[in-house]
Structure 1
């Protein structure tokens, strides 16, 4: 057995919750904390590609996602008025609402014995070769064999242990996201394009719902007044007259329905651990969303980390194996995502065929074993 028997996971998002369940399945005691006081009940959608669903299948959770989400295997392109231009095959995928995915993961992890604490964070830690002494924000103290930093792209633990060289940087785009009732024509991954190359994307997240996103270029990060987000997204999408887009926009009546954020990215050089603290998910590799693979990569991280701990005897060996198995794969996805992002900023029409070829080759790469 590996010497890692007690683990603290900081962050209960997709990567953290998956890690909690995967580690419990290999016999590790898990304490998962999150600074948020409760699981978010609202949120955008996520497209889980074939590789993410394969990882979920290894945890016996793929069917739960399919039951709650929507399976699709096609890619449809429309003009801005909603006229279907072409349909192509796509990797088998599952669209699902993020809160629903969180429910599936946390229910599985808690059912397996993982302990979740909310409204709690790490106040300080002492990272040693043989373990990590942690002091929490509520004054409690504990020692763990391993701390997993799954606290996102703006990870405090990463900054503390890896320095500011790995701080996220703006990728030149921001994303607008919202949910809406699913129109009948949104039964696959759909893109609606204007003649100038502006694009709105949508995919189903259940039989009844869909997720819509719009990527906006800017040389510097945009700052959007939160109280006006629902009005601003209507202005930006006024050129799109497709009935599916217009009907969805009609449902956006409150600013809280719109999620907006600049795309900040990072990729931490391997190895991803310092002594007994290891990075996972966006804390280690935060890509742009163009490959729809950020969440999938975090899920894969969790599966591989648990596998490495189960397959080795020493903590050091497990963490080295984890970085070795994950870094090049995640770098490939981050590089492809960023190139797609740059293609859209530089010449979305001229780069369309180049982007399509890159998407196809990277989808094929994702089909390889993790």
Structure 2
């Protein structure tokens, strides 16, 4: 073990909680904070592809996710009426509810010895060269050997240490999401396409009983919707899809709180991903569009690799250089594929076959070691 003893992880989302677990398991004194006062019980689902499950398996967390989610290994395309157009095998992955994944990661981190605190943020972070001094929002102060910025796409630590030029930009799409009971045909990654190819609804299983649906909407700028009308607005947008999977799910939406909408704000920070003793992880370094369903998966891989590098290298600078060297090409390949798929879907005449080919090609690339 090198001289790294104390680590602060800022953010307990997917990447941050995985990092807290992996670092604590590697023997480091790990402190993980999150500005949110409580873990959210809201949220749709997430797809953990084969590469993500392999990373989770390396740190002993694959089985709990398998127990809670649903394994699948097929990518299917349907028309708007629900008629199957194409079915392709994919390497096995799982779908799981986001709140359930958060519970698994955070409780595992605590059990591994990480100190997990919510309702707390870093008021100031100062890299002194031989340590990082942190003042917390509750007035406490502490020093760490390393600070991991896992504070998401809108990372304040990234802006402080890497500059405002790496702020996110809008990719031209937003996603509408809602949960539903899982019908038998949603046994993998499913896409339903409108006759003109310009609109897509997706469905992913999140357990034996549940799935979530999403609709991608193109726009030149961020759109703003009244929060109390989201249920009505999503029905209007999906009126042209007669597939029973979609219409039966919409019939169960009785309040706007059941619908989530998020714009695709993206960034990819150039290498290296560290400044002194502050290192980026997950969306703070690489916030992708979700077309490859790999944002969370890349963050999980980041966490596993960072812990491996800190354990293997003799110094923090060497560990952080090794971390970026192992991650940047892989992450940028997936990030660029996701963005290209997003752009394809915004073309005047979309080509679903071309998009499917890129999706499957990148799935195969993810089979390479991280």
* TM-score normalized by the length of structure 2: 0.98
Q: Unaligned regions of 5+ residues in structure 2, if any?
A: none
Rounded to whole Å, the distance in 2 between the matches of 1:246 and 1:207 is 20
Rounded to whole Å, the distance in 2 between the matches of 1:10 and 1:61 is 21
Aligned residues: 369
Map 1:80-159; keep pairs closer than 5 Å: 80-159=80-159
Taking structure 1 as reference, are residues 366 and 348 closer, same or farther at Cα in structure 2, changes over 3 Å only? Answer: farther
1:215 is aligned to: 216
Deviations 1:268-320 (A, max 9, x none): 01111111110000000000000000000000000000000010110111011
Q: What is the DSSP-based 3-state SS (H/G/I as helix, E as strand, rest coil) of the residue aligned with 1:175? A: strand
1:368 is aligned to: 368
Map 1:320-359; keep pairs closer than 5 Å: 320-347=321-348, 349=350, 351-359=351-359
Q: What is the DSSP-based 3-state SS (H/G/I as helix, E as strand, rest coil) of the residue aligned with 2:67? A: helix
2:54 is aligned to: 54
Q: What is the DSSP-based 3-state SS (H/G/I as helix, E as strand, rest coil) of the residue aligned with 1:66? A: helix
Rounded to whole Å, the distance in 1 between the matches of 2:313 and 2:48 is 29
Deviations 1:88-126 (A, max 9, x none): 112211000000001111111110111111100010111
Rounded to whole Å, the distance in 2 between the matches of 1:85 and 1:331 is 31
Q: Unaligned regions of 5+ residues in structure 1, if any?
A: none
Q: Does 1:192 align with 2:192?
A: yes
1:276 is aligned to: 277
Rounded to whole Å, the distance in 2 between the matches of 1:128 and 1:138 is 22
Rounded to whole Å, the distance in 2 between the matches of 1:347 and 1:361 is 24
- For the aligned residues, what is the CA RMSD? 0.9
1:289 is aligned to: 290
Rounded to whole Å, the distance in 1 between the matches of 2:192 and 2:338 is 20
Rounded to whole Å, the distance in 1 between the matches of 2:129 and 2:45 is 39
Rounded to whole Å, the distance in 2 between the matches of 1:160 and 1:210 is 39
1:167 is aligned to: 167
Rounded to whole Å, the distance in 2 between the matches of 1:142 and 1:189 is 45
Deviations 1:71-90 (A, max 9, x none): 00011111111122221112
List 4+ stretches of structure 1 deviating above 3 A. Answer: none
Rounded to whole Å, the distance in 1 between the matches of 2:339 and 2:193 is 20
Q: What is the DSSP-based 3-state SS (H/G/I as helix, E as strand, rest coil) of the residue aligned with 2:345? A: helix
Rounded to whole Å, the distance in 2 between the matches of 1:187 and 1:123 is 45
Rounded to whole Å, the distance in 1 between the matches of 2:131 and 2:265 is 32
